[in-house]
């Protein structure tokens, strides 16, 4: 299976309209698309104007069929009026030899990650604004990938299952392109996520795989252990994003 994430930013004050269009127009189209097992719209907690569409697919071929059939562009057209035009500008001379600023068309960012999932265990439904999704990005040292995955599956996922507020977890693999893994978890509420992070449980589980992470991350950890500053770890080798699940549903 593959997880596909499409990231985009909404125009100012157009987030609610984007959410309605996604739920009323995009999700019904995805439900009819062969191979699409789950779809959800995520809103960033730290940057509320940023959204991501998370879909789970049976195979890469079915994602390709979806894009080549024109359905991806059709769904994109549904939401495009509510997206930011551009994050960049270029300078050019006009026909009258005056300088003008022209916005560069900003397309949504698309990422796909292979995952090992049991379709029967996919969440059936996610109530809007009642559950939260946490995405932890980690980069693993070359040669340590199998050890990292084994520890995650046998120890970390088993520990997460015992946390009542953690409803679901899986590991997405992006190592072929960026030596990156994504640990994706779904939670009852943001307070539970905060307790997990600040109560010591997250650090305990992270320590189980710390020796498999990149050299830069380990150097940053060593620096943190000898520093009074809690902001020592700044590397993108460990990055946590949190999202509200605006809407989400498993397709039968």
Domain ranges of the chain: 2-88+97-250
Q: CA 107 to CA 105: how far, in whole Å?
A: 6
Q: CA 46 to CA 236: how far, in whole Å?
A: 17
pTM for this structure? 0.77
Which pairs with CB-CB distance under 8 Å and at least 24 residues apart come from 103-106?
106/9
Q: What pLDDT is attached to residue 229?
A: 43
Tokens 């390709």 sit on residue: 64
Whether 131 and 242 have beta carbons less than 8 Å apart is answered as: no
Q: Is the Cα dihedral 247, 27, 73, 133 positive or negative?
A: positive
Question: What is the full per-residue pLDDT of the chain (252 aa) written as tens digits?
Answer: 888 888 888 988 999 999 999 999 999 999 999 999 989 999 998 888 999 999 999 988 999 999 999 999 999 999 989 988 654 455 555 555 656 555 555 677 777 777 776 665 666 656 555 578 898 988 898 899 999 999 999 999 999 999 988 988 888 887 666 678 889 898 888 899 999 999 999 999 999 999 999 877 777 777 766 654 443 444 567 788 888 888 888 887
- One of 1.10.10.10, 3.30.70.100, 3.40.50.150, 3.40.50.11540 is the CATH number of 2-88+97-250, namely 3.30.70.100
Q: What pLDDT is attached to residue 168?
A: 85
């Amino acid at each position: 299976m593959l997880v596909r994430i499409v990231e985009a930013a909404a125009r100012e004050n157009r987030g609610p309209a984007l959410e309605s269009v996604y739920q009323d127009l995009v999700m019904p189209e995805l439900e009819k698309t062969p191979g699409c097992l789950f779809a959800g719209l995520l809103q960033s907690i730290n940057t509320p104007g940023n959204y991501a569409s998370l879909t789970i697919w049976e195979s890469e071929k079915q994602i390709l069929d979806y894009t080549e059939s024109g359905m991806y562009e059709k769904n994109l057209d549904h939401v495009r009026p509510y997206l930011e035009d551009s994050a960049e500008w270029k300078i050019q001379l006009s026909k009258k030899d005056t300088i003008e600023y022209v916005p560069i068309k900003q397309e949504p960012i698309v990422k796909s990650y292979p995952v090992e999932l049991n379709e029967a265990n996919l969440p059936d439904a996610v109530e809007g604004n009642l559950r939260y999704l946490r995405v932890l990005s980690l980069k693993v040292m070359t040669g340590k990938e199998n050890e990292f995955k084994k520890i995650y599956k046998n120890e970390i996922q088993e520990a997460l299952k015992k946390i009542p507020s953690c409803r679901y977890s899986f590991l997405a693999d992006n190592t072929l392109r960026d030596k990156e893994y994504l640990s994706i978890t779904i939670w009852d509420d943001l307070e539970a996520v905060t307790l997990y992070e600040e109560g010591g449980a997250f650090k305990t589980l992270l320590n189980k795989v710390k020796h498999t992470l990149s050299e830069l991350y380990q150097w940053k950890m060593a620096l943190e252990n000898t520093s009074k500053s809690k902001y020592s770890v700044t590397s993108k080798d460990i990055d946590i994003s949190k999202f509200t699940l605006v809407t989400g549903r498993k397709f039968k």
